[in-house]
Each structure stands twice: as structure tokens, then as C-alpha cells.
């Protein structure tokens, strides 16, 4: 193990070697793109149980995400208890009902093609609900750097891992979300980031017909 010349107290280890030819890399990238293109937000879940081991593997994958100063400012609370899920749904629907009653014409129009409203049955239908928190400074936790960006990347890892296991997900962000701290017994320095129902799609589940932007619309290349 080497010592960093910038900080003699900081130990370094060799970066993992991973050599992939350009041709193999292109094939891997195409296969991964095609697989991820099948990922869709699911609102109708089967009651089929999800093994806890799969959830642990997915969260372990999320924990490998990069974070500011490697503080890893995230907490993943996985809930399968029906009573707790019912309380989460009750709190979320209360916030959502108030949101839909307020005047957000532009936002409401954007949501209309997706067929969403204040009702959130997926929070009790899905066998598991994962609530992701940002962890901020406390007596036992260090100051995080770029916590939202770090947790957002970790959630991307989590969704990818769950999809590759054949599990469906939905990302839900009721606003405000502080009611989740009380339900889940989390301290004030943990701030709810997103609620993710997880499970298998219900038989006959449908999704909105959407279009994803092609790469030429979302990529800008600067260089030769």
C-alpha cells in the first residue's frame, strides 16, 4: 500500500485493473443500453414477495457510488412491514392531496399524460418500499459535501441494480417529506430524499407510451 505524496498520512491502494478492448466496450455498452431502455416506472405491483437478500444486494451496490469527500451521506431504509407501509402511504397521500389542490397548472399539465393523481396505492401494494435519506452533520456524522448530488448518484446505482434483478420500481417524492422521519424513527439530521416502491410488476400492468430523447438530442461533443 502506497502513501500519497500530497498527504503522507493518507494511504492509497492500487486502482483495480480493468482492460476492455474498444470493440468489446462498444458491445458491452450497446447491450447495457438496450437492457436499461427496458426500465420503466411501474405503478401496478404484484404481491409476490421480494427476497430480502435481493434488496441487500441492491443497496450494497448503491453504497459503491461516488460521493463528495467519500463521506457516503446516505441511509437506505427498507420497509416490508404492512402497517408501516400503510402509514407511509397515508402521510404521502395527505401531502399529495394538498399538492393537487394547489394551483400548479403547468406541473399538472406535465403530469396529465402519465395519469397520476394524489392516490398512491403502490406504497402499500409493493412488497418493499425503500426510503432514501441524505445524512447531514450531527454529533456522530461528519459534514457531507454535495449530499444531494451524492445521494442522487447512489439512487441511480440502486435503480439500475434493482432493474437488472428483474425488479420494478417507482420514484416518489412527496413534498414535504419530513413526516417520514417520524414514521421510520430517523433522526433530524437525516433528510428524506426519495421513496421507492420495489417489487414485481402486476400481471397485465401497463405503462404510459413515452418517447425517450435520442442521444443526438442530449449529447454535446466538444473536440475532434
Query: Tell me: the pLDDT tens digits for 21-36?
Result: 999 999 999 999 999 9
Query: Tell me: the pLDDT tens digits for 61-116?
Result: 999 999 999 999 999 999 999 999 999 999 999 887 877 776 666 766 766 666 67
Give pLDDT, residue 13.
87
User: Any idea where the domains of the chain sit in the sequence?
Assistant: 40-165+177-202
- Which of 56, 81, 63 lies closest to 162 in space, CA to CA? 56
Pairing relationship of beta strands 168-169 and 128-135 according to DSSP bridges: unpaired
When pLDDT is cut at 50, 70 and 90, the band that residue 128 belongs to is very high
Query: Tell me: the pLDDT tens digits for 163-199?
Result: 999 999 999 998 889 999 999 999 999 999 999 999 9
Residue 80: all three cell numbers together: 416490508
> Full-prediction pTM beyond 0.85?
yes
The CATH number that domain 40-165+177-202 falls under is 3.40.109.10
pLDDT higher than threshold 60 for residue 3? no
Q: For residues 63-84, b (16+ Cβ closer than 10 Å) or e, as one string?
A: eebebeeebbbbbbbbbeeeeb
| Summary mean pLDDT of the chain | 90
Give pLDDT, residue 113.
67
- Which of 31, 121, 59, 55 lies closest to 85 in space, CA to CA? 121
CA distance from start to end of the chain: 39
The rounded distance, in Å, linking the Cα atoms of 32 and 27 is 9
Amino acid at each position: 500500500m502506497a502513501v500519497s505524496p500530497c498527504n503522507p498520512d493518507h494511504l492509497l491502494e492500487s486502482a483495480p485493473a480493468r482492460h476492455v478492448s474498444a470493440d468489446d466496450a462498444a458491445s458491452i455498452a450497446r447491450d447495457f443500453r438496450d437492457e436499461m431502455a427496458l426500465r420503466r416506472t411501474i405503478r401496478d405491483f404484484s404481491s409476490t414477495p421480494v427476497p430480502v437478500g435481493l434488496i441487500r444486494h441492491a443497496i450494497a451496490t448503491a453504497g459503491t457510488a461516488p460521493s463528495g469527500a467519500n463521506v457516503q451521506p446516505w441511509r437506505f431504509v427498507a420497509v416490508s412491514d404492512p402497517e408501516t407501509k400503510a402509514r407511509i402511504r397515508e402521510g404521502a397521500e395527505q401531502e399529495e392531496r394538498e399538492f393537487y389542490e394547489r394551483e400548479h397548472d403547468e406541473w399538472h399539465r406535465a403530469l396529465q399524460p402519465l395519469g397520476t393523481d394524489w392516490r398512491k396505492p403502490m406504497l402499500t401494494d409493493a412488497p418493499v418500499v425503500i426510503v432514501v435519506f441524505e445524512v447531514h452533520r450531527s454529533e456522530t456524522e461528519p459534514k457531507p459535501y454535495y449530499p444531494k448530488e451524492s445521494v442522487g448518484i447512489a439512487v441511480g446505482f440502486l435503480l439500475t441494480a434493482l432493474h437488472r434483478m428483474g425488479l420494478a420500481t417507482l420514484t416518489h417524492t412527496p413534498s414535504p417529506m419530513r413526516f417520514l422521519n417520524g414514521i421510520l424513527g430517523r433522526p433530524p439530521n437525516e433528510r428524506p430524499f426519495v421513496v421507492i416502491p420495489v417489487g414485481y410488476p402486476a400481471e397485465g400492468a401497463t405503462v404510459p407510451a413515452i418517447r425517450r430523447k435520442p442521444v443526438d438530442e442530449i449529447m454535446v461533443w466538444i473536440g475532434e
